[in-house]
Amino acid sequence: MEEGFFVDDCVAFMSRMDEKSIDLTVTSPPYDNLRNYKGYSFDFENIAKHLYRVTKEGGVVVWVVGDKINGGRTLTSFRQGLFFQDMGFLMHDVMIYQKKNTPFMRSNAYTNCYEFMFVLSRGKPNTFNPLKVETVRHGMEMLTHNKGADGVNKKVLKELKKEKTRTNIWPYAVGYGGTTTDKIAFDHPAVFPEKLAEDHILSWTNPGDLVFDPMCGSGTTGKMALKHNRRFIGVDISKAYVAIAKERVFGGQIPMAGVV
Ligand SMILES: C[S@@+](CC[C@H](N)C(=O)[O-])C[C@H]1O[C@@H](n2cnc3c(N)ncnc32)[C@H](O)[C@@H]1O
């Protein structure tokens, strides 16, 4: 299968892809037609079925999704999550993409500042490289040890760990400088943060693995996959968005061998 960016309907494209060929998909669908993507159609059920078919055993799909809020929440995201489960994916985790700024204000409810990141896997994930954060307290400290029946605190000098595994709520700044500093990316209406794609790529794959985005928009997942020496296939139905992705990722440069 050729790698690089392609203009196509992702269902048609995936139907030509090899079965069980993808290590990781990081993608974000159009949410309830929340934004106008030049009027292209979105066939969720067929996309989900094909994603399952092309994902390797132990491969992962990260599905970044929000609901339209129009009076109340549509809960389309929940329906999609249940459909993914019904077709055989394991809902390995439901993570939160928290937006640190520009949250969506509501007059009669709390301000919405998140989207879901469904981490779906075909069986148990093959790879998990946990990302770490620095702990607030670290170094040597006197810590309580073996409090016995006499109630006396026996303290011993112990080392607190310097870092711990992150939680599953990932906060990112959005907008210029947060999402990306590539001005051209903002010609697309719904770019997700480069760091979000990067963090999933580092967590669920190793160098040389094949990363996929069937609705690649401005090319964020591809940019981060290639930066970290993963292979990449990206598809978008819009020629204009694929042009943005190619310009963003390759600029005036000649693509690497085998990448179009
Ligand atoms: C939320 S955007 C993805 C944005 C992307 N994650 C980024 O960072 O730029 C969804 C994309 O899905 C594309 N799309 C919609 N229907 C599609 C289809 N049937 N096949 C391929 N792409 C499609 C739209 O053109 C749009 O660019």
Q: 10 Å Cβ neighbour count for 237?
A: 20
Q: Report which of 240, 254, 204 is spatially closest to residue 62, judged by C-alpha positions.
A: 204
Query: 19 with 103, same domain?
Result: yes
Query: 170 with 220, same domain?
Result: yes
Query: 153 with 88, same domain?
Result: no
141 pLDDT tier (thresholds 50, 70, 90): confident
Q: How far apart are the first and last CA of the chain?
A: 12
Query: 244 with 228, same domain?
Result: yes
Query: 75 with 64, same domain?
Result: yes
Query: 144 with 101, same domain?
Result: no
Q: Please classify residue 124 by burial: count the beta carbons closer than 10 Å to its beta carbon, then call 0-12 exposed, 13-18 middle and 19+ buried.
A: exposed
Q: List the domain range (segments joined by +) for residue 138.
A: 134-165
What is the predicted pLDDT for the residue at 257?
A: 46
| Assigned domain for 48 exists | yes
> How many structural domains compose the chain?
2
Query: 51 with 153, same domain?
Result: no
| Assigned domain for 158 exists | yes
Question: Mean pLDDT, to the nearest integer, of 50-58?
Answer: 98
Say which residue, 143 or 127, is predicted with more confidence.
Answer: 127
What percentage of residues in the chain have a pLDDT greater than 70?
93
Question: Mean pLDDT, to the nearest integer, of 86-108?
Answer: 92
Which CATH number covers residue 177?
3.40.50.150
218 alpha carbon to ligand 1 midpoint, in Å? 8
Query: 55 with 79, same domain?
Result: yes
| Assigned domain for 258 exists | no
Please, what is the average pLDDT of the chain? 90
| Assigned domain for 260 exists | no
225 pLDDT tier (thresholds 50, 70, 90): very high
Whether residue 9 has its Cβ less than 6 Å from ligand 1: yes
Q: State the amino acid at position 63 in one-letter form.
A: W
Question: Mean pLDDT, to the nearest integer, of 24-30?
Answer: 96
Query: 157 with 236, same domain?
Result: no
Query: 114 with 150, same domain?
Result: no
Query: 229 with 172, same domain?
Result: yes
220 pLDDT tier (thresholds 50, 70, 90): very high
How far is the C-alpha of 211 from the C-alpha of 223, rounded, in Å?
Answer: 11
What is the predicted pLDDT for the residue at 32?
A: 65
DSSP strands (E only) in 131-200: 132-134, 139-145, 154-160, 163-165, 169-172
Residue 38 falls in which region: left (phi positive, over 0), alpha (psi -120 to 50) or beta: left
Runs of H (alpha helix) within the chain = 10-15, 44-54, 76-86, 194-204, 220-227, 239-250
What is the predicted pLDDT for the residue at 154?
A: 78
| Assigned domain for 257 exists | no
How far is the C-alpha of 216 from the C-alpha of 26, rounded, in Å?
Answer: 9
> Which of 17, 33, 37, 211, when mutated, tests ligand 1's pocket best, judged by the most ligand atoms within 8 Å of its CB?
37
| Assigned domain for 255 exists | no
Atom of ligand 1 nearest to the CA of 10: 20
Does the pLDDT at position 134 exceed 50? yes
Query: 121 with 243, same domain?
Result: yes
User: Of 165, 185, 217, which residue is a domain's last?
Assistant: 165
